Structure 1
Amino acid sequence: MAQTRSFSVSIALLAAGALFLEILDGTILTTAIPAIASEFGVGAGEVSLVLVAYLVAAAVGIPAAGWLSDRFGVRPVFLLALLVFTVASLICALAPNLGLLIAARVLQGLGGALLVPVGRLAVIRGTDPKDLLDAIAFLTWPALVAPVIAPVLGGLITDTIGWRWIFFINVPLGIIALIAGVVILPRETKVSTGSFDAVGFIGVAIIMVALTICAELLTTEVDHRGLYALTLVAIAAITTGFITWWLRTPGRLFDVTVLSIQSFRVGNASGSIYRLVITAVPFMFTLLFQLSFGWSATMAGVMVVALFAGNVAIKPFTTPIIRKFAFKPVLIFSNAAGAIVLASFLFVTAETPLAVIGVLLFVSGALRSLGFSAYNTLQFVDIGPEQTNNANVLSATLHQLGMSLGIAVGVIAISLAPTFAWAFPLAAALFILPLLGAAMLPPSSGASALETKQPKYPKIKSDKKVSENL
C-alpha cells in the first residue's frame, strides 16, 4: 500500500522550483557582468549594482512575507510573487539601459523575497513532524544546486545566446509555475492577524540592507571599502539593539519566543553559520582554480560541478541516514568531516591529479547536502502549528542574511590568508561554531521527526518572560 503523506508533493515541487529560480537569479549574473558592461558602455563596478539591487530587495521583502501570508492567504501572495518575478524578468531582458535594469532587478528581488518563505510555508503548514524530513528534502536541493551551477549556466548562456536570455528563460518558467499554482494551491489559507508592525519592518529592513551592502562592499575593489563596511555594520548593530528591545512586546514583526525552543535556535544560529560557509565554498573553489591554478573559467566551472554531483548523489540517502543516526550525530559528522575536507585543500595544487580534486569536491558536496538537510529539518521539528508562520519567516530572514554574507566570508578568508591555499583552513575553522552547537544538542533532539507517533510540542513560556531572557 502506498505511503500516505501529510504534505502535497505537487506543492512541494512547485515551491522548490520557485525557490530554485529565486536563488539562481541571485548569483547567475556574476559571469555576465563584463558582457552587460560592454553593451551599456559602463564599468563593471557600475554593473555590480545589478547584483546588489536584487540581494537588497530580497533581504527587505522577506520579513513582510509572514504577515502578508496570514492577512491575504498563501495562495494569492505566492501567485502575486510569481507574477511580479516573471514580469520583472521580462523587463530585465528588454531593459534598454543600466538604470532600468537595476530598477527591474529591485522588483524581481521583491517578488523573489516572497517566493522563499511563502512557498516553504505552503509545504510545511500542516505537515506532521514524521513527514517533515521528506517535505524539507524537496526544499533543500535548490539552495544547494543553484549557487553551484549558476556561474557555469550564466557563462554558457552569455557566451552563446547572450546575457538577456538569462532573464528571457524565466518568463516561460514563471508562466508554467503560475498555471501550476492556480491549479494546485489551496484557496482558503488565511488566518487571523493583527496590524502590520511597520516600525519593526523598517528596523529589520535597515539591518538587512546595511549588512547586505556591507558584504557586497567587501567583495569589490572600491576606495575606503573597509570604512564603509564598518559604518554599515555599526548602523546594523545600533538598529539591532533597538529592534531587539522593540520585539520584546508581543504582536511585533517576529515573535522571538520561538527562540526558546533549542532545536529551532540551533537550527538557525548554528545553521546560519554553516550555510554561510557552504555558500562561500563554490566561490572560493572557482577563484582557486582560475587565479592560483591558471585554469580557464569554463574548466573551473566544470570542475566545481562535482559539488553538484555530490549533492545529487547523496540526496536519496539523506533522510534514511538522519532517521537511522538522528540529528545530533549527523550534524556533528557533517560539520567535522566538512571542515576536514575543506581544510585539505591547503595541500591541493595545480599538479594534483584532477581525479583527486574531483573526489574531494564530490565528498564536500555530499557532506554539505547532508548537513543542510539536517539543519533545515531540525529547526521545524518542535514548532507547533500556531508558531509555524512566525518561525518560517524568522528562519527565512536569517537564511537570506547568511547566504548574502557567504561570499564576503570567502573574500575575507582569502585576504587574511598568507597564501591562497591557506584561505581554506581559515574558512574551515568556522565550522567549529556549528560543531559546538551540534555537540550541545540533547541526543533526543528532533525525535518527533524520526517517529511515527503524534508529537508533543514543547510549551513556550509567556512572551514577556522569555523575551526578557533572550
Structure 2
Amino acid sequence: MPVSPLDARTARLLPWIVAIAFFMQTLDGTILNTALPAMARELLEDPLRMQSVVIAYMLTVALLIPASGWIADRFGTRRIFFGAILLFSCGSLLCALSTTLPQLVGARIVQGLGGALMMPVGRLVVLRAYPRTELVRIMSFITLPGLLGPLIGPTLGGWLVEYASWHWIFLINIPVGLIGCIAVYRVMPDLRGPQRSRFDTLGFLLFGGAMVLITVALEGLGELHLAHMRVMLLLLGGLACLAAYWLRAGQVAEPLFSPRLFRTRTFAVGILGNLFARLGSGSLPFLVPLLLQVALGYSPAQAGMSMIPLALAAMAVKPLAKSIIDRFGYRTVLTGNTLLLGALLASLGLVTATTPYAVLLIQLGLLGAVNSMQFTAMNTVTLIDLDDSSASSGNSLLSVVVQLAISLGIASGAALLGGFTSEIDSGEISSVLGAFQLTFFCVGVLTLLAAAIFLQLAREDGRSAKRVTTEIQE
C-alpha cells in the first residue's frame, strides 16, 4: 500500500519524472563507449587507458547503491532524487569541461554519485507511492524509456562525435537534468520510511567493499584483462567481505540489509532469480555486436541497425506485461519465460554466414520481447510482497544484485568466448563463428537452469496485494 494517497496530477506525472531520469542514465551508459576513441585522441591518451572512465563510474555506483535506501529514508525521496539528478548533471558538465584524463575520471565519479541514487530511489518512490496492484503497470512504464538508451545511444554518440565533438555526449544531459530537477521539486512527494534507523557504517564498508572487489574481479575477466591470479585474489577478498557482512548482519539490530528480508519467499526467489537469470541477458550487449561484426562481417552501422528489432520488441511488450502476469501468475510466467529466454539465447548458436538476414532480425526481436517480460516480472515479484518498513532495504539490495548480475553476465560471456577462441589454434574449434556458437549455446543452457529457481514460487505468490486491496474496497 502507498505511504500516502497521491492527487491525480501527481499520480499521472510521477512515473514520467522517474522514467526520464532512467532514460538519462541508460543513454549516458550506451553513448559513451562510441566516443572513447575520439576522447582519447583529444586528451592525448592511449585508447586502452580510457577504460578507466567507465570503471570509475561503475565502481562508484557499486559502492554507493547499498546506502541508497537508508539515505532516502533519512532525508526523503524528493530531496535525494533532486540531488541525484543535480549531481549527475553537474558531473556531466564537469566531464565536458575536462582537459585531462584524471579530471575526466574525477568528473565521472561525481556522475556516479548521482547515478547510484537515481535508479534505486526512483524505484522506491514508485514502490511507496502506488498500490501493489499498480506495481507491474508503473514499473513497466518507467523502464520503457530506459530501453531507448541502447537503441539510440550508439548512433547518437557516433553522430555527435563525427559532426560536433565528444563534449556534447555529456552536455545533452544538462537540459534534461534541469527539467528533471524542476519537475521533482514541484511534483515528487517527500516519502520517508516509517521509522528512523542508525546507519550501519561497518556493514556498509563490508558490503560496499565486497561489491567493489567482486565487480573489479568480474571486469578483470573481461574488459580489464587482469591476470587470473589477481582476479582470484580480488574475488576471494570480495567473498570474504560478503561473508563477514552476512555473519554480522544476523547479530545487529539494524543492519544495512537484514537477513529477515529473505523470509519473504517472493523476495528471496526474485533476488536469486535476478542474479542467475540475468547471466544470459547481461552478456547480450557484449556478445551480439561482436557476433555481427567479427564473426559475420557486418559493418558497425549495419550491426547497430540490426539491434533495433530487439529494442522495439522490448518496448512493445512492456504494456502487455500486467495483463499477462495477472492472467497466469508469476510462477508460470517466470518459469516459462526463463525457459523461452534460454532457448532463444541458445538459438543464436545456430546462426551461420548463410542465415537469412530476416531470420536473424526475427530472432533478435523475439529475444528482445522475452527479455523485456523477464525484467518486468523478476523486478516486480522481488518487491511486491515487502512491507513499507522493508521496502527501501529490499529495493536497494535488488539494485545491487542487478548491477552485479550485469557484470557477471558480461564477464562470463567474455570468459566463454575467450576460452573457445583459444581452442581455434588447436583445431578443436574450426572458426571464430564456431566459438560464438558454442558461447551462445552455453549461455542459453545456464539461463535455462535458472528456471528451477522460479519453480520455488507458489502459484498464488505475488497476488496477495491484489486480494488485500479487494478486501479493503469491499
Per the TM superposition, whether the score is higher than 0.5 is: yes
The alpha-carbon distance between structure 1 residues 404 and 5, as it changes in their structure 2 partners (threshold 3 A), is farther
Q: Alpha-carbon deviation of 1:62?
A: 0.8
State the identity as a percent. 33
Partner of 2:423: none
Partner of 1:165: 168
The counterpart of 1:303, out of the listed 289, 306, 310, is 306
Q: Alpha-carbon deviation of 1:413?
A: 2.4
- Map 1:182-201 onto structure 2 (within 5 A): 182-187=185-190, 189=192, 191-201=194-204
Q: Alpha-carbon deviation of 1:448?
A: 2.6
- Please state whether the residue corresponding to 2:409 is helix, strand or coil: helix
1:374-424, Cα deviation, whole Å (9 max, x unpaired): 111111221112211111111111112222333212212212334222110
The counterpart of 1:22, out of the listed 22, 25, 35, is 25
- Please state whether the residue corresponding to 2:236 is helix, strand or coil: helix
CA distance in structure 2 between the partners assigned to 1:324 and 1:7 by the alignment: 29
- Map 1:194-233 onto structure 2 (within 5 A): 194-220=197-223, 222=225, 224-233=226-235
CA distance in structure 2 between the partners assigned to 1:349 and 1:182 by the alignment: 53
- Please state whether the residue corresponding to 1:295 is helix, strand or coil: coil
CA distance in structure 1 between the partners assigned to 2:193 and 2:40 by the alignment: 45
Segment of structure 1 superposing worse, 176-185 or 247-256: 247-256
1:104-136, Cα deviation, whole Å (9 max, x unpaired): 001101111011111111111142221111121
Runs of 4+ in 1 over 4 A off after TM superposition: 4-7, 142-145, 449-452
Asked whether the equivalents of residues 126 and 385 of structure 1 are also in contact (C-alpha less than 8 Å), the reply is no
- Please state whether the residue corresponding to 1:453 is helix, strand or coil: helix
Segment of structure 1 superposing worse, 124-133 or 254-263: 124-133
Partner of 2:249: 247
CA distance in structure 1 between the partners assigned to 2:446 and 2:22 by the alignment: 27
- Amino acid of the structure 2 residue aligned with 1:238: A
- 1:10 corresponds to 2:13: yes
- Map 1:69-148 onto structure 2 (within 5 A): 69-142=72-145, 144-148=147-151
- 1:323 corresponds to 2:321: no
- Amino acid of the structure 2 residue aligned with 1:32: A
- Amino acid of the structure 1 residue aligned with 2:233: T
The counterpart of 1:275, out of the listed 268, 273, 278, is 278
The alpha-carbon distance between structure 1 residues 455 and 47, as it changes in their structure 2 partners (threshold 3 A), is farther
The counterpart of 1:43, out of the listed 43, 46, 71, is 46
The alpha-carbon distance between structure 1 residues 250 and 434, as it changes in their structure 2 partners (threshold 3 A), is farther
- Amino acid of the structure 2 residue aligned with 1:384: D
Partner of 2:454: 438
- Map 1:365-384 onto structure 2 (within 5 A): 365-384=368-387
Asked whether the equivalents of residues 144 and 369 of structure 1 are also in contact (C-alpha less than 8 Å), the reply is no
Relative to the length of structure 1, the TM-score reads: 0.91
Q: 5+ residue gaps in structure 1?
A: 457-470
CA distance in structure 1 between the partners assigned to 2:319 and 2:8 by the alignment: 17
CA distance in structure 2 between the partners assigned to 1:370 and 1:416 by the alignment: 31
Asked whether the equivalents of residues 81 and 115 of structure 1 are also in contact (C-alpha less than 8 Å), the reply is yes
- 1:423 corresponds to 2:426: no
Asked whether the equivalents of residues 145 and 311 of structure 1 are also in contact (C-alpha less than 8 Å), the reply is no
Partner of 2:290: 287
1:117-161, Cα deviation, whole Å (9 max, x unpaired): 111111111422211111211233355443454333333332332
The alpha-carbon distance between structure 1 residues 214 and 113, as it changes in their structure 2 partners (threshold 3 A), is same
- Amino acid of the structure 1 residue aligned with 2:212: V
- Please state whether the residue corresponding to 2:383 is helix, strand or coil: coil
1:418-445, Cα deviation, whole Å (9 max, x unpaired): 4222110111112133200112221111
CA distance in structure 1 between the partners assigned to 2:63 and 2:159 by the alignment: 31
Asked whether the equivalents of residues 117 and 393 of structure 1 are also in contact (C-alpha less than 8 Å), the reply is yes
Asked whether the equivalents of residues 130 and 451 of structure 1 are also in contact (C-alpha less than 8 Å), the reply is no
Partner of 2:4: none
CA distance in structure 2 between the partners assigned to 1:294 and 1:231 by the alignment: 38
- Please state whether the residue corresponding to 2:130 is helix, strand or coil: coil
Relative to the length of structure 2, the TM-score reads: 0.90
Asked whether the equivalents of residues 279 and 443 of structure 2 are also in contact (C-alpha less than 8 Å), the reply is no
- Please state whether the residue corresponding to 2:469 is helix, strand or coil: coil
- Amino acid of the structure 2 residue aligned with 1:246: R
Asked whether the equivalents of residues 331 and 435 of structure 1 are also in contact (C-alpha less than 8 Å), the reply is yes
Q: Alpha-carbon deviation of 1:190?
A: 6.0
- Please state whether the residue corresponding to 1:8 is helix, strand or coil: helix
CA distance in structure 2 between the partners assigned to 1:433 and 1:294 by the alignment: 32
Q: Alpha-carbon deviation of 1:225?
A: 2.6
